[in-house]
Amino acid sequence: MTTPEPSSAPATESPAAPVLSVRGLGVRFRMRGGRHIAAVTDATFDLAAGECLALVGESGCGKSVLASALLGLLPANARTTGSAVLRGAGPAGAVDLLTADERTLARTVRGRRVGLVPQSPAAHLTPVRTVRSQLAEVLREVTGVRGPALPRAVEAAAERAAYPADHLDRYPHELSGGLAQRAATALALIGDAPLLLADEPTTGLDRELVDRTADELRRHTDDGRALLMITHDLAAAERIADRVAVMYAGRIVELGPAEGFFGPAGPRHPYARGLLDALPERGFTAIPGMPPELGDLPDGCAFADRCPRVTDLCATLPALTPADGSSVACHHAEERVDA
């Protein structure tokens, strides 16, 4: 069920006309006993053609729920608010992904206007069919390729995702996690959808394949398509992202250019800085404490209990506001990092 919500002001917009405009997106799950869990709250961003936005954060922060909302793949106990408008030229037109019916999503959006690299690829592959037959089916449906050209098109689709041709006749249960990931990526890239959602696209891959997959996704973007990459892999995000959005406890707490985020100045939000400091090459310093339960969020800043800068101001919820070229939800965003 979707209900309207007042639009939020966009934060650190992409420079070109957006393919996707998300305003005030919220997802709440109704649990037994009437309890609600706010998995995503007031997410607002634009994503332009030719741009990669990396959505990063710890497990359970709401990243994958946001992607599922965009594709209409939430469970029945989910309630969404806000809007997520996918724009298109010609007869395709604009569609609000949060209010579109299942027929529209299944026939004209998923796989055609929006591609998905799923977080759990094995669960999205048909278990009783080989990878070759699944690639062939998607090629026929999405691109119309048939006849003598189809076998070569299948091999080209596999090669694009570094999926080995001598494994095309294997079934999903015969694949390693990395091979399943590459098969899912190959399926998602067919048709060159204007928007690609890649949910942990480098899971299970060694560093060489991570870089190759990231570079292919970047080429997909450089050809004029939009990419929303949900990832724990900050090295992959640094390699290909134009902007970075950091989620914590269901909210975007920082949104800005990747160059600044990964550069000498670094991010402005203490949580975002903590994510970088936890990397082996940057000190390997873990963020103390644990994220709050999404069903029991505080009234103020959700990061306050783990934050070295916490003051009485943090008892009130900070808004996402401009700060040094980015948008940051922190009362202390303008303070010096080493303060």
**Number of Cβ within a 10 Å radius of residue 321:** 15
Read off the pLDDT band of 337 (50, 70, 90).
Answer: low
Q: What share of the chain is helix, strand, coil (3-state, %, to 5)?
A: 35, 25, 40
Give per-residue pLDDT as tens, 145-202.
999 999 999 999 999 999 999 999 999 999 998 899 999 999 999 999 999 999 999 8
Our count of domains for the chain comes to 1
Give the pLDDT of residue 124: 84
Give the pLDDT of residue 90: 54
Has residue 137 been placed in a domain? Answer: no
Give the pLDDT of residue 9: 40
**Residue 280 clears pLDDT 50, i.e. is over it:** yes
Give the pLDDT of residue 95: 95
Give the pLDDT of residue 211: 92
Range of the domain at 82: 2-123+188-328
Has residue 160 been placed in a domain? Answer: no
Give per-residue pLDDT as tens, 92-122.
689 999 999 999 999 999 989 999 999 888 7
Has residue 130 been placed in a domain? Answer: no
**Number of Cβ within a 10 Å radius of residue 155:** 15
Give the pLDDT of residue 7: 38
Give per-residue pLDDT as tens, 212-252.
899 999 999 999 999 999 999 999 999 999 999 999 999 99
Give the Cα separation of 314 and 137 in Å (integer).
53
Give the pLDDT of residue 91: 58
Give the pLDDT of residue 13: 52
Spatial CB neighbours of 191, under 8 Å, sequence gap ≥ 6: 111, 112, 115, 138, 142, 143
Has residue 34 been placed in a domain? Answer: yes
Has residue 152 been placed in a domain? Answer: no
Has residue 46 been placed in a domain? Answer: yes
Q: What is the pTM of this model?
A: 0.90
Give per-residue pLDDT as tens, 59-87.
899 999 999 999 999 999 999 999 999 99
Give the Cα separation of 28 and 294 in Å (integer).
10
Question: How many residues would you count in the chain?
Answer: 339
Has residue 129 been placed in a domain? Answer: no
Has residue 59 been placed in a domain? Answer: yes
Give the pLDDT of residue 3: 44
C-beta of residue 16 within 8 angstroms of C-beta of residue 48: yes
Give the Cα separation of 287 and 68 in Å (integer).
28
CATH number, position 251: 3.40.50.300
Give the Cα separation of 12 and 98 in Å (integer).
23
Cα dist from 181 to 144, 155, 178, 203, whole Å: 25, 16, 5, 7
Give per-residue pLDDT as tens, 284-331.
899 999 999 999 999 999 999 999 999 999 999 999 999 888 999 999
Spatial CB neighbours of 258, under 8 Å, sequence gap ≥ 6: 54, 237, 238, 241, 242, 243, 244
Give the pLDDT of residue 325: 85
